[in-house]
Chain A
Amino acid sequence: MDIKYDFSSELVIPISYGSSEAIETGKWGFEKPETAFMTAPCQEVCPAGNPIPQFLYFAGEGRYKEAVEAILKENPFPGVCGRVCFHPCEKDCNRIQYDEAVSISAMERYIFDVTSNQHLDIHPLSHADSKRIAVVGSGPAGLSAAYFLRLLGYQVTLFEARKELGGVMRWGIPEYRLPKAILRKEIKRILQLSAIDVKTGMRVGEEISFEELNRFDAVFLSPGAGLILSLGIEGEDLKKVWIGGDVLDRINSGDKIRMGKEIIVIGGGNTAMDVARSALRLGSRVTVAYRRTRSEMPAIQDEIQEAEEEGVRFEFLLQPVKISLLKNKKIRVKFQRMRLRGRDHNNRPKAIPVQGAFLTRDADGLIKAVGEGVDLSWIPETLARNSLIDVNTSFITPHPKIFAGGDAIDQPRTIVTAIASGKKAAISIDLYLTGRTHDDVFPKIRVGNRGALSMEAYLSGRDDRNWSEPKDVVSYPQLNTLYFEHSKRTNMCKLDRHQALKSFSEVNLGLTTDEARLSALRCFSCGTCNYCFNCYFFCPEGVISLDPLHRTKGVDLDHCKGCGTCAKVCPRFVVHMKGLS
């Protein structure tokens, strides 16, 4: 060390102009810090395994392009999911235990909306002799599978029976929840990023035979569930009895329909809510009759609440048993009164009839929305089981080169589950075509323990067939909440009720720029470093270096004494102390 010992000058104190770096104080320690990213519970519960802390970090920094690129690694539909997803992520948000959940869904929507016209840096892998894959059906599962298969370097041909892409997103979800313009933008971007060979107006079984799909190296089936289910009651075929899926399809096709003043909707799922709210917009008064109670309704909670707010009435524990036409051209619906008793095979409370208890309701029309079946007429019988397409946990049908996903297989019928099945099937197809089994790989690329898989994790180990162990999930007690401040959650503004009911304009208005920024910054970023610099500031040795722009971090291990301060002060459980062996 170069110490200047100055007795003569006015400095009167020793000053060192050298460095004490030569002393390797790092040798004194018994532990060293390690940064290990963890899985946040929001991410774990998302069927698509969306990298939520990561995209919220970028959004909080105003780096929206990077935010959307992060989402697109795992989910090609931020614009759709940000609008119609049932967002389980918000229910499992760790922040709920502190104050209120982060507005994840609204943020996903915002990130899509502000970047929808931007050029993105996402490039498919390239293969010299890439194999060809057919995808049947262009709903969320089909488009997701096609997108990820293209990113994996395959040539993808997408067959769609109708004239436009989108499946249930295009024909089943009303405009006021998912504007067609948004969906078109989203699909356009997917096609731009992944160059899929799209064949619309090609119904397999008609324009092209199922056998012709054999010339592809693999096939992914995602026809959706569009088959009308029958109530099995008298009067069901009356002219004034509408079918939920048809009603939505016709409205989404631009048909002008008149339904009458008083409408009864039968059902408790999303279709029931969508038709009920659509009927309100067409000028009807609407009553939803459901055979169980509100808490058993399978529809998304937000939708039930919004339907209530808009004026839909609900009558519970009613099952229609007969529909008859009255002389005044109205219909009369006879309902059996039900009660809940015991549980069915899905562990849902069972509705059973109350002996002799009936009531009637008169209306101008009735809409059946009791669920949809899968049309299996065009596929070989061997692929079907229990009226669905039969797949195993890797989305493989009994035919080894045929895969399936979406609403046609046995899984919850939500957009995000369909997207997730498309992604998982794409990985499964890649494993099949490269001669590997999923058993070794799926457990390594899982996002937590609830079924989601990570495409990014898959790609990271794909080349050398070596995947690191999956990350653990961060629980609330593992966070150091001392460094957080309480704040209110921001919800999106909505169209006022009267305004909303006048047209099919989108009800949720999205976040403002400021709201979005603040919402993103509310994220605890559980398990993901968001460069809060706590470790940097608290490190007594000054041996930590962080570069948020290039997303790098480092510890000068030659001088880290292993005191563990960085691990203690990390609010998000990213820094962990590891003993030296």
Chain B
Amino acid sequence: MKEFLTGNHAVARAVRLCRTPLIAAYPITPQTPIYEKLSEWEASGELKGIMMRTESEHSAMAACIAASLTGVRTFTATSSQGIALMHEMLHFAAGCRVPVVMANVNRLLAAPWGFWADQLDSLSQRDTGWIQLYCENGQEALDSVIQAYKIAEQVFLPAMICLEAFFVSHFMETVEIPDQEQVDRFLPPLNLPHRFDIDKPGYLVPVVPPELYRKYKHMAQTSMNSVKEIATRVDREFREGFGRGYGNVEPMMLEDAEIAIVTAGSITSTARIAIKTLREQGHRVGLLKIRLFRPFPVEEIQQALVGKKKIAVIDRNISLGSGGIFCQELRAALVHSSDHTLTFNYIAGVGGTDVDPEVIEKIALDVMNRREPIDTPIWIMED
């Protein structure tokens, strides 16, 4: 069944379809419609779970961790300052190995204050041990929530799906809503171990000696690495069941391309149009979308970009003192590839500024003219 929905409401719909019994959240623009929709359904009885209104995002995550340890599926949604406040608990979630699923609506971080799209909020949580998926549109956001549960629950690691403020969260699009039975088949009732058990009281997060700490970290890293393979498998199953799939990365017109444009999130949609125009103009330009950011799909990226002459990574984020974060990761992934493709970093769309097809075409033409490597990012500003 198709519905005309915002990205936020598509996420809420996915949570309902996953029969999540415990949601703990705190409202924040531009995530609030997810919170409101779930509250509305809780009130009407359509959501068969508990919607906990906590006093902060920090508490929301603490509640999700505790609930998850009792063996149930949990969900929270946040954005920007909210995820920043949650930071400490994000580490706890990964360390406690709980498959909490979160939607983060990418909004810039203060200061200065603003509400606009920017991926720095979730990207600066990249080392917390969470699986991260970046979604291009509302449909992908809905599908990714369902997939995220299936991935997270196999590896005992939390997962966040990211969608950009307004461009995805508030834009209305036609979204295919899967049948409940179909989702139930794909995502059967959860059977996690009950690590919090009132009949056998225990204390989590006890002090451990150094060697054990290292051991648990190593275990988590092993699990995290396995996510690339599991995510691929889950996406394939999803495609078989629902007729849609996304991959950890998605190449477009890349095979014969000399120049690869790399994007993540909503800019990808715009880039798809720009690439077509560039192709029509005779430029051999292709596109690579990165969807899975943690773990970083190094091998798939190496494979997709092998033999390209130049690469342009477009980042809607900036790690001050370095550059765009997707570009950093991509350069690190390619460091052992034999031909050492020239990789340029374009900062575009930061703070929610518009990245239209002309901007992407401009970037492509700029890359074509560049001969020398440049370590610093290239900012795309209005003329």
Q: Which residues of A contact B (CB under 8 A)?
A: 1, 3-5, 7, 9-18, 20
From known contacts A7-B215, A17-B200, infer whether A12 and B206 are also in contact, taking CB-CB under 8 Å.
Answer: no
B212-234 contacts to A (CB < 8 Å) = 212, 215-216, 219, 223
B195–A15 CB distance below 8 A? yes
B206–A16 CB distance below 8 A? yes
B95–A5 CB distance below 8 A? no
B204–A15 CB distance below 8 A? yes
From known contacts A3-B208, A5-B212, infer whether A12 and B203 are also in contact, taking CB-CB under 8 Å.
Answer: no
A14–B193 CB distance below 8 A? no
A5–B208 CB distance below 8 A? yes
A15–B212 CB distance below 8 A? no
Q: Jot down 11 A-B pairs with beta carbons below 8 A, ordered by A.
A: A1-B206, A7-B215, A12-B216, A12-B223, A13-B97, A14-B208, A15-B206, A16-B202, A16-B206, A17-B203, A20-B203
Residues of A close to B203: CB separation below 8 A: 15-18, 20
Give the dominant DSSP class at B's interface.
loop
Residues of B close to A13: CB separation below 8 A: 95-97, 195, 204, 216
- Complex CA gap A16/B202 in Å reads 5
Residues of A close to B219: CB separation below 8 A: 7, 12
> CB within 8 A of B202: which of A5, A10, A12, A15?
A15
Give the dominant DSSP class at A's interface.
loop
Query: Separation in Å of the A20 CB from the closest CB of chain B?
Result: 7
Judged by a CB distance under 8 angstroms, whether B238 is at the interface is no
Judged by a CB distance under 8 angstroms, whether B156 is at the interface is yes
Q: Which 3 A-B pairs have the closest CB atoms?
A: A16-B206, A16-B203, A15-B202
11 A-B pairs besides A3-B208, A12-B223, A14-B212 with CB distance below 8 A are A5-B212, A11-B193, A12-B97, A12-B219, A13-B216, A14-B216, A15-B195, A16-B203, A17-B201, A17-B203, A18-B203
> CB within 8 A of A17: which of B193, B202, B208, B215?
B202
> CB within 8 A of B206: which of A3, A9, A10, A11?
A3
Residues of A close to B195: CB separation below 8 A: 11, 13, 15
- Complex CA gap A11/B193 in Å reads 7
Contact mask for chain B residues 181-223; partner A; CB cutoff 8 A; 1 contact, 0 none: 0000000000011010000111110101000100110010001
- Chain A, residue nearest B194 (CB): A11
- Chain A, residue nearest B96 (CB): A13
- Chain A, residue nearest B204 (CB): A15
- Chain B, residue nearest A20 (CB): B203
- Chain A, residue nearest B212 (CB): A5
Residue from B95, B195, B202, B206 having most chain A Cβ neighbours under 10 A = B206
B67-107 contacts to A (CB < 8 Å) = 95-97
Residues of B close to A12: CB separation below 8 A: 97, 156, 216, 219, 223
- Chain A, residue nearest B192 (CB): A10
Query: Separation in Å of the B244 CB from the closest CB of chain A?
Result: 31
Contact mask for chain B residues 90-127; partner A; CB cutoff 8 A; 1 contact, 0 none: 00000111000000000000000000000000000000
Query: Separation in Å of the A76 CB from the closest CB of chain B?
Result: 51
Residues of B close to A9: CB separation below 8 A: 193
- Chain A, residue nearest B196 (CB): A15
Query: Separation in Å of the A142 CB from the closest CB of chain B?
Result: 61
- Complex CA gap A374/B223 in Å reads 97
- Complex CA gap A14/B195 in Å reads 10
A10–B216 CB distance below 8 A? no
Query: Separation in Å of the A324 CB from the closest CB of chain B?
Result: 81
- Complex CA gap A484/B38 in Å reads 34
Residues of A close to B201: CB separation below 8 A: 17
Query: Separation in Å of the B153 CB from the closest CB of chain A?
Result: 11
Query: Separation in Å of the A145 CB from the closest CB of chain B?
Result: 58
- Complex CA gap A22/B215 in Å reads 27
- Complex CA gap A11/B204 in Å reads 11
- Complex CA gap A17/B195 in Å reads 12
- Complex CA gap A15/B96 in Å reads 10
Residues of A close to B204: CB separation below 8 A: 13-16
Query: Separation in Å of the A16 CB from the closest CB of chain B?
Result: 4
- Complex CA gap A18/B203 in Å reads 8
Query: Separation in Å of the B225 CB from the closest CB of chain A?
Result: 15
Residues of A close to B206: CB separation below 8 A: 1, 3, 14-16
Residues of B close to A18: CB separation below 8 A: 203
Query: Separation in Å of the A18 CB from the closest CB of chain B?
Result: 8
- Complex CA gap A271/B146 in Å reads 85
Residues of B close to A15: CB separation below 8 A: 195, 202-204, 206
- Complex CA gap A15/B207 in Å reads 10
- Complex CA gap A10/B98 in Å reads 11
- Chain B, residue nearest A1 (CB): B206
Residues of A close to B223: CB separation below 8 A: 12
- Complex CA gap A18/B207 in Å reads 12
Residues of A close to B193: CB separation below 8 A: 9-11
- Complex CA gap A13/B195 in Å reads 9
Query: Separation in Å of the A431 CB from the closest CB of chain B?
Result: 57
- Complex CA gap A14/B213 in Å reads 10
- Complex CA gap A13/B156 in Å reads 10
Residues of B close to A10: CB separation below 8 A: 156, 192-193
- Chain A, residue nearest B95 (CB): A13
- Complex CA gap A10/B201 in Å reads 18
Contact mask for chain B residues 159-178; partner A; CB cutoff 8 A; 1 contact, 0 none: 00000000000000000000
- Complex CA gap A1/B97 in Å reads 22
- Chain A, residue nearest B157 (CB): A12
- Chain B, residue nearest A4 (CB): B202
- Complex CA gap A7/B223 in Å reads 12
Residues of A close to B95: CB separation below 8 A: 13
Residues of B close to A11: CB separation below 8 A: 193, 195
- Complex CA gap A300/B125 in Å reads 72
Residues of B close to A3: CB separation below 8 A: 206, 208
- Complex CA gap A16/B192 in Å reads 19
- Complex CA gap A431/B33 in Å reads 77
Query: Separation in Å of the B152 CB from the closest CB of chain A?
Result: 13
- Complex CA gap A116/B156 in Å reads 66
- Complex CA gap A15/B156 in Å reads 16
- Complex CA gap A125/B29 in Å reads 71
- Complex CA gap A142/B215 in Å reads 83
- Complex CA gap A13/B215 in Å reads 11
Query: Separation in Å of the B96 CB from the closest CB of chain A?
Result: 6
- Complex CA gap A17/B201 in Å reads 7
- Complex CA gap A104/B219 in Å reads 66
Residues of B close to A5: CB separation below 8 A: 208, 212
- Complex CA gap A137/B189 in Å reads 84
- Chain B, residue nearest A10 (CB): B193
- Complex CA gap A20/B95 in Å reads 21
- Complex CA gap A515/B96 in Å reads 51
Query: Separation in Å of the B217 CB from the closest CB of chain A?
Result: 12
